[in-house]
Structure 1
Amino acid sequence: MSGHVLITGGGTGLGRAVAEALAGSHRLSLVGRRAAPLDAVAARLPDTAAFSADVTDPAALGEAVRAAEAAHGPVTALVAAAGISDTAPIVKTDPAMLRRLLSVNVEGVLNAVQLVLPGMIAAGHGRVVAIASTAALKGYAYAGAYAASKHAVLGLVRSLALETAKTGVTVNAVCPGFADTEMTAESVARIMAKTGRSEADARAALASNSPMGRLVAPREVADSVRWLLGEDAGAITGQAIVVAGGEVM
């Protein structure tokens, strides 16, 4: 086994895909708000345990991390995949929406990092990968609050990479385009509700952002994460690794 990887948002979407990609080569701890999807993933993957906690609650998350380390040993890598999305024109984006997105997408990353980073620094080795988005690198119409939250994640990653550059810890972001996940399905549903388009047309509209004309497969994102966790990625830090079919170059 190559170490203990803690994955927030590990029960669904890209977090689940990362868990599946790492299963068998790492000890895995999956953390998320909802126990059922976490337990379902953990039940079918070797050396995987599930711990329910909201990433926006530092105390609850701390309890989950301590339980995970009791089960699998010190966390050697963090994959911060917990995230939410929402859409609205800027003029209709209320403060509550922005706060909700910042709380999960940014504070959730910060909370997890603060819990596991001291141990990594003490050990002289560690990996932190935040699942950001192409929205960390560009704007999207009607997604200003989401883009703001993901830009903030990338700023956090780049700053932390500089702080830890001489410690043996690397910190990077993976920035997928629209991926074929539950979150994208929610975006499709919103497009259908607001425009009257069919599901196929709504999915095609999202896929059209990519020069490849397709959604990103979750396993393609997970493979980038797996590479960043490896020993040969030790000189890669502070980077935004784009997995988006050429949408951002």
Structure 2
Amino acid sequence: MAQGPFHGRHALVTGGTRGIGVAIARRLVAEGASVTILGRNAVRAETTAKEIGAAGFAAADVTDRDGLTGAIRAAEERLGGVEILVNNAGSAESSPFLKTPPEQFARMLSVNLDSVVTACHAVLPGMIAAGSGRIVNVASTAGLKGYRYVSAYVAAKHAVVGLTRALALETAESGVTVNAVCPGFADTDLVRESVARIREKTGRSDDEIVADMVRDNPQKRLIDPDEVADCVAWLCGGGARSVTGQSLAVAGGEVM
């Protein structure tokens, strides 16, 4: 494994302690990368890093610009410049638009968009100087289409897709690629926690709730986080050097 295709390359995954993030980190480790797990909770980040064999961990609230930049710099001091950046950290809040206050829009933009901007600002100069690098932003199908009752989240994820396209053009001649993956509802602990909350409020069965979540997915199933990780790994590999500015939906055909 140590001699895999990413051997010797420093990869940093934000939001890497659970769900899709840890699946991506685990896959990059398996491919030989020296992975830094970045999470908000230091104990959880350290524990996750040990469990999957990551090279290190860092703790930061991604909405804290200075804190996030400092954590990335500390990781680079330990393992060298970040050559693969996966911006996975994010969150979603739901409410009808007319009941969505400006503060909710600010929170959604901060965690889902501003964190990506901060991390890219931190690593892009080094990537450009080195003449190579991979940035993958974990967006969502909410970055490609609209959904009811999550207008702030949809706006933020659409912004991530737009940023991805703009950065891809600016870096096209530098050896750096910038892409996004856009999962639909995935089989993660966060989704399962959401299912549990809905069950407590409505009395509906888990199967009914999940069926409602995936009703727009032609395959009628939750996405396996490892499927997203496979997509990210491909985008980070040499075979995808001509793939940039793309937003790849991993959603069973929900978005075409």
Tell me the residue number matched to 1:59: 66
Instruction: Please tell me the residue identity of whatever aligns with 1:100.
Output: R
Q: CA deviation at 1:81?
A: 0.2
TM-score in terms of structure 2 length: 0.93
Q: CA deviation at 1:189?
A: 4.1
CA distance in structure 2 between the aligned counterparts of 1:189 and 1:108, rounded to whole angstroms: 29
CA distance in structure 2 between the aligned counterparts of 1:2 and 1:195, rounded to whole angstroms: 50
Change (3 A) 1:146 1:56: same
Q: Is the 8 A contact 1:176 1:221 kept in 2?
A: yes
Q: Is the 8 A contact 2:39 2:60 kept in 1?
A: yes
Tell me the residue number matched to 1:7: 13
Change (3 A) 1:190 1:149: farther
Tell me the residue number matched to 2:245: 238
Instruction: Please tell me the residue identity of whatever aligns with 2:239.
Output: D
Question: Gapped runs of 5+ residues in structure 1?
Answer: none
CA distance in structure 1 between the aligned counterparts of 2:193 and 2:99, rounded to whole angstroms: 19
Q: Is the 8 A contact 1:105 1:150 kept in 2?
A: yes
What's the secondary structure of 1:118's corresponding residue? helix
TM-score in terms of structure 1 length: 0.96
Instruction: Please tell me the residue identity of whatever aligns with 2:147.
Output: Y
CA distance in structure 1 between the aligned counterparts of 2:142 and 2:59, rounded to whole angstroms: 28
Q: Is the 8 A contact 1:12 1:37 kept in 2?
A: no
Tell me the residue number matched to 1:217: 224
User: Residue 209 of structure 2: which of 202, 207, 216 is its match?
Assistant: 202
CA distance in structure 2 between the aligned counterparts of 1:106 and 1:193, rounded to whole angstroms: 32
CA distance in structure 2 between the aligned counterparts of 1:13 and 1:90, rounded to whole angstroms: 28
Deviations along 1:184-228, whole A, 9 cap, x unmatched?
234324543554423332112112221101000000000000000
What's the secondary structure of 1:23's corresponding residue? helix
Q: CA deviation at 1:2?
A: 4.4
Q: CA deviation at 1:55?
A: 1.1
Question: Gapped runs of 5+ residues in structure 2?
Answer: 1-6
Root-mean-square deviation (CA, aligned residues, Å) is: 1.4
4+ residue runs of structure 1 moved beyond 3 angstroms? 189-196
* Number of corresponding residues: 249
CA distance in structure 2 between the aligned counterparts of 1:121 and 1:41, rounded to whole angstroms: 30
What's the secondary structure of 2:86's corresponding residue? strand
CA distance in structure 2 between the aligned counterparts of 1:4 and 1:45, rounded to whole angstroms: 15
Tell me the residue number matched to 1:28: 35
